[in-house]
Amino acid sequence: MSALDNHETLTGAVPRMAPARLRLPEAVTGILLILPAIALLLALTCYPVLYGVWISFFNKHSFFPQQTFVGLDNYLFLLRDPQFWSAVWLGCVYSVSAIVLQIVLGVGAAVLLNEIFPGRNILRAVVIFPYVVPTVIAVILWKWLLNSQFGLVNYLIEQAGLVDQPISFMGKDWIMASLILVSVWQFFPFVVIGVLARLQTVPGELYEAAHVDGANAFQRFIHVTLPQLKSVLFVIVLLRSIWMFTKFDTPWLMIQGGGAETYIRTLPVYTYMRTFAYYEAGLGSAMAVVMFLALAVATACYFRIWQREENL
Amino acid sequence: MSLLARTALAVTAGLFAATSASAADKVVRVWHTETEPQTIKAFNDIARKFEAKNPGIRIEAEGLAWGDLEGKIMASLAAGSPPELSHGQPITCTSLQAKGLLAPLDEVVKAVGENNIWDQVKRVCNVGGKQYGLVHAAGTSLLIYRKDLADKAGLKPPKTWNDLLANAKALTQDTNGDGKIDIYGITLPGDNLFVNIIMGELTKANGAQLFDKNNKPMLTDKKMIEILEFWRELAKYAPPGWEGHGYLQTFQNLYGQKAAMMFQGYGRGAGMIEKFAPKEMANDKTFDVWVKPHGPSGNAPAAQVDEEPWMLFKDAKNTKEAVEFLKFFYQDDNYLEYIRTVPIHFFPVTKSLRQSESYKNTEMIQRWKGWLDAQEQYLEKDWGKPTLIVEWSDMNDKPYLMEVLGSGILRDMVMDVVLEKTEPQKAAEKAQKRLEDLMKSKGYWKG
C-alpha cells in the first residue's frame, strides 16, 4: 500500500473528503460537469435549428406573431417555384466555380510559396491579405475597380486594346463572373494557408527519391505532392463547399446600390429576400431547411466517396 | 490615500454622477435615412439646440442606410422597443398604421400650420383625416437632360413617350466619328428600388393601375403591356450594362458625359454635377430639366416624390417629447438649416419657408432655380406621388405595396423584356402569376 492510498498528498496534507454517502459516482459527476456545456449547445445551436424547422411548417410573418399552420405547403410551393430552382442553379454555378478556382489558385500559390526565393516571407504575408479584409470592404473595393465609368480594370483593358467599350461588370453578362472573381480573390488564401502548412511537413526524401528516379517537376507534383495533399484538400474542399454554398454577404453586397441582382440571386440571397422582403419567415425557413438537407446529403456522399477511395 | 487611489475615486464618482444625470434624461431615439455628412451635422445641431432649450430631453439620432431601415423598424417593433421617430417609405407608413403601430402627428401639423403645408404632402399617410406621417422634405424625380446637346440637335420638350424615344435616339451620338457611340441617349437605373419607382411613375403616366379595387394584380392589362414596350424601346438608348447601374452611377453617366438624359434624376444631382462635372458645364444652362412625358393611354405627366414621412411609434417611451422635437424641427430657422444641406433635393414641405427670402436667397437655390420650379409644378398639379402609389386612395387601400416592392417581381418583369427579349405579354403573364401568388399568400386577394 502506498502512502498516497492513505489520502495523504505528497506534501503530507490530508485533503478533506466528502462523507461517503454524499459522494457521487464518477460518471454522474462527469455528466454534471458537462451539463452546462450541453445546455448551452442545445440553447444556442439545437433550439434555433429546431425552431427553424418548426416554423417552416407555418405561414408566418417575419416580425409579427401571426402564423398559420400549413403543413408541407411551403415545401410544395418551393418544388413548383421557378425562382427557387433558378436560385439553386445560380448557387451551384457560383459555388462550384468559385471552389474550383480557389483550389487551383490556392494550391498553385502554396506550391510557389513553398519554394525558396528572395522576398518569400513578404509574399507569404501579402497573400493572406485578401482573407483578412472584411467582406464589405472587399466588395466595395472591387466594385470601384470594376466600375464601367471610372474603374481601373476597364481602364487597363481598354488601354491594352482588349476591348473597344468598357465592360459593365455589374451588368447581366458579367455580374456572375465578377462575383466569382471577388470570391476567389478573397478566399483562395484560406487554401494557401492549409496547403502550405501541409507542404512544409512533406519529407524532402520523397522528392529526392522521385528526382533520382528521373521524375520532372510536373511528375513530382502529380505523384508526390498531390497524394500528400489529399487529406488536407479533403477538409478544405468540404469546408469551402459548405461556406460557398451558403455564402450570403458577398453576393448581397454586390447588388447593393446597383448590380444585375437577378443574375446572382443565389439560394441564400433568395432565402433572405423571402424572409425580409416578402416577410415570409415560414417559406424562408423551409428554404433554409432544404439548403441544410442538401448540404448534409452532399457531405455524407463526399465522406462515402472519400472512404471508398481510401480503401482502394 | 495614495494619489492613484484618490484619482480612481474621483473618476468613479464623476462617472457615477454623469450616468445618474443621463439616466434621468428622457431619450428620443430618431432613425433617419439622410447619410450626407452635412445633413447629419445640421440635424444633430438642431437636436442639440432643442436639448439646450428642453433640459431633461436627449435626442439620439442615427442615420441608417435605406436598405437597412425597413428590417430594423420591423425588428424593433417585434422586440417591443421601437424608436420614437423614424423615417420610412410612405407605403411603409400606411402599412404600419394599418397594424395600429403608429400615433398621429396632428399636433405637429397644427403647430406648423395646416395651411402652411403643401396639400400633396398632407395626403401622405393621412388616414381618416389624421396625419400619421409627416414628410421631412419632398423632392420629386426629374427628367434631366443636356440642354447644350438638345439645343444643338434642335430638340423640343417631349410630350409623349414617343417624343422621348425620338429625343433619346437623336441624342445617342458618335461624336468623334470613329463608329462607336460616345454618348448614349438616356441613363436608367437597374436596381430594384429604382425600377419599382419608375414602374410606379409609368403606371400613372399611362393611366394604368397595378391592382384593381379587389387587389387583383393588373400586369397583363393592355396599358401595362404598353409600359413594358416602352421600357424595351427606351433601354436601346441606354449604355450597355445599364441594368447593373445604381442611382449614383446613373448620375456618373450624366455628369461624366456618357449619357445625355437621365430619366430618374433628383435634385440631389445638382450637388453632384457641381462637384464632379467640368466647371464650365456645372450649371443649369447645360443640365436642365424637362417635364416628364406621358404614355399613349395617359394624358398627364407623372413623377415620384421622394418624401419619407416621420413616423411616431405608439409603443415608444417618450412620444410627447418626440412631438415637441418635431415641432421644433419644422420651425423655419431650424428647418432652413436642414433644407440647406441638400437644397435642390430637399424641397421644403412648408410654404412659409419656400416663400421666405432667406430660403430664396440661398446661393445654390438661385443657381438651380429651374429644377426647383419643376418640382413645385409637380407638387402643385398633383403629378407627383410616392413610390408605387398610383391613386391617393392606394396609400390606405393597398398596405401590401412594400412587399410588392421588396419582392422584385416588377423588376424581374422589366428585365425579362429588356434583357431576355421575352415578349411583353409573356413576361407580364409570368409576373402576374407571381404577384397573384404573393397576394394570395398574404391574404389580400382570394383569387
Domain presence at residue A119: yes
Q: Does B248 touch chain A (CB under 8 A)?
A: yes
Which residue in B191, B412, B441 is closest to A257 by CB distance? B191
**pLDDT, position B66:** 73
pTM: 0.85
The region that residue B113 occupies, defined by phi over 0 for left and psi between -120 and 50 for alpha, beta otherwise, is: left
Question: What percent of chain B stands above pLDDT 90?
Answer: 79
Answer yes or no: is B329 within a domain: yes
Give the separation between CA B42 and CA B305, rounded to whole angstroms: 23
**End-to-end Cα spacing for chain A:** 54
Confidence of residue A9 (pLDDT cuts 50, 70, 90): very low
Work out the average pLDDT over A105-123: 94
Interface size, chain A vs chain B, as Cβ–Cβ contacts under 8 Å: 103
CA A237 to CA A227: how far, in whole Å?
A: 15
Query: Which residues of chain B neighbour A273 with C-beta distances below 8 Å?
Result: 406-408
Is there a single domain that holds both residue B283 and residue B340? no
Contact A275, A54 (CB under 8 A): no
Give the pLDDT score at B160. Answer: 98
- DSSP-assigned letters across all residues of B174-202: -SSSSSS--BBS-B---SHHHHHHHHHHH
Same-domain check for residues B98 and B176: no
Inter-chain contact A278–B406, Cβ cutoff 8 Å?
A: yes
Residue A43 lies in a domain: no
Compute the C-alpha angle A149/A154/A159, nearest 5°: 120
Q: Where residue B219 sits, what CATH number does that domain have?
A: 3.40.190.10
DSSP annotation of B114: G
- pLDDT attached to residue B442: 84
The mean pLDDT of A141-147, rounded to a whole number, is 94
CB contact under 8 A, A171 and B244: yes
Q: Which residues are B407's β-sheet partners?
A: none
What is the count of structural domains for chain A?
Answer: 1
pLDDT digit string (tens) for A40-75? 988 998 899 999 999 999 999 888 878 899 999 999
Print the domain residue range for A300.
73-311
pLDDT tens per residue across span B354-408: 889 999 999 999 999 999 999 999 999 999 999 999 999 998 889 889 889 989 9
**Is there a domain that residue A46 lies in?**
no
- Determine contact, residues B353/B335, Cβ cutoff 8 Å: yes
Grid look-up 452635412 returns: B38
Residue A2 covered by a domain: no
Torsion over CA: B353, B355, B360, B365 (sign): positive
Together in a domain, B147 and B258: yes
pLDDT in tens, B67-83: 778 888 988 988 889 99
Give the mutation candidate from A55, A61, A63, A81 for the B interface (greatest B CB count, under 10 A). A63
Domain extent at residue B174: 140-304+408-442
Residues B155 and B295 occupy one common structural domain: yes
CB B346 within 8 A of CB B335: no
Task: Output phi, psi for A277, to 5 deg.
Answer: -110, -40
Residues B425 and B226: beta-carbon distance below 8 Å: no
Q: Quickly list DSSP for chain A.
A: --GGGGT--TTS-------GGGPPPHHHHHHHHHHHHHHHHIIIIIHHHHHHHHHTTEEEBSSSS-EEE-TTHHHHHHHT-HHHHHHHHHHHHHHHHHHHHHHHHHHHHHHHHHS--TTHHHHHHHHHHHHHS-HHHHHHHHHHHT-TTT-HHHHHHHHTTS-SS---TTSTTTHHHHHHHHHHHHHHHHHHHHHHHHHTTS-HHHHHHHHHTT--HHHHIIIIIHHHHHHHHHHHHHHHHHHHHT--HHHHHHTTTS--GGGG--HHHHHHHHHHTS-BHHHHHHHHHHHHHHHHHHHHHHHHHHHHHHH-
Residue B244, chain A, CB below 8 Å: the answer is yes
Confidence band for A3, pLDDT divided at 50, 70 and 90: very low
- Cβ distance of B74 and A255 shorter than 8 Å: no
Q: What is the mean pLDDT of chain A?
A: 89
Q: Residue B61: pLDDT above 70?
A: yes
Tell if the CB–CB gap between B245 and A59 is shorter than 8 Å: no
State mean pLDDT over B119-129: 92
Q: Is the pLDDT of residue B18 over 70?
A: no
- Indicate the pairing of strand A58-60 with strand B26-32: unpaired
Return d(Cα B223, Cα A308) in angstroms, integer. 62
Kindly give, in sequence order, each residue whose CB lies less than 8 Å from that of residue A104, ignoring residues fewer than 6 positions away. Answer: none
Q: Number of structural domains, chain B? A: 2
Average pLDDT over residues B47-62: 96
Q: Which long-range contacts (CB under 8 A, 24 or more apart) does B280-286 make?
A: B281/B148, B281/B255, B283/B367, B284/B147, B284/B367, B284/B368, B284/B369, B284/B370, B284/B371, B285/B147, B285/B148, B286/B146, B286/B147, B286/B148
Task: Count Cβ atoms below 10 Å from residue A44 Cβ, excluding itself.
Answer: 9
Residue finishing a domain among B372, B395, B427 = B372
Residues of chain A with pLDDT > 70, as a percent, come to: 92
Q: Which residue of B has its CA nearest to A173?
A: B241
Residue A4's pLDDT band, with cuts at 50, 70 and 90, is: very low
Mean pLDDT of chain B: 92
Average pLDDT over residues A86-91: 96
- Judge residue B229's burial from the number of C-beta atoms within 10 Å of its C-beta, 0-12 exposed, 13-18 middle, 19 or more buried: middle
Q: Residue B239 gets which letter from DSSP?
A: P
Distances, alpha carbon B411 to alpha carbons A235, B58, B195, B268, in Å: 40, 42, 6, 24
* pLDDT (0 to 100) of residue B15: 52
- Please give, rounded to a whole number of angstroms, the shortest distance from the CA of A246 to a CA of chain B: 21
- The reply to whether A16 falls in a domain is no
Question: What is the pLDDT, as a whole number, of residue A310?
Answer: 67
Looking at the structure, tell me whether residues B156 and B277 fall in a common domain: yes
pLDDT digits (tens, 9 = 90+) for B409-431: 999 999 999 999 999 999 999 99
Same domain flag for B170 and B286: yes
Partner B contacted by A51 (CB < 8 A): no
Domain-located, residue A41: no
Q: pLDDT-derived band of residue A148, with 50, 70 and 90 as boundaries?
A: confident
Q: Are B194 and B414 in contact (CB under 8 A)?
A: no
Interface test with A, best of B178, B188, B249, B442 (most A CBs within 10 A): B249
The answer to whether residue B229 sits within a structural domain is: yes
- Residue B191 at interface with chain A, using a CB cutoff of 8 Å: yes
d(CA B105, CA B130): 8
Q: Residue window 158-177, chain A: list those with CB within 8 Å of chain B.
A: 164-165, 167-175
| Same domain, yes or no: B193 and B116 | no
The rounded Cα A10 to chain-centroid distance in angstroms is 51
Question: How much is the pLDDT for A7?
Answer: 47
Say if B13 falls within a structural domain: no
Task: Tell me the chain A residues in contact with residue B243 when contact means C-beta distances shorter than 8 Å.
Answer: 171-172, 260
| Residues B84, B162 within the same domain | no
Mean pLDDT of A107-113: 95
CA–CA dist A188, A202 (Å, integer): 21
Are B309 and B125 a contacting pair, CB within 8 Å?
A: yes
B63 and B98 in a single domain? The answer is yes
pLDDT at position B64 is 85
Q: How far apart are CA A168 and CA B240, in angstroms?
A: 7
**SS3 category, B59:** strand
Query: What is the length of chain A?
Result: 312
Q: What is the CATH number of the domain that holds A188?
A: 1.10.3720.10
Comparing alpha-carbon positions, the chain B residue that sits nearest to A279 is B403
**Interchain CB contact of A255 with B (< 8 Å):** yes
pLDDT category of residue B443 using cuts at 50, 70 and 90: confident
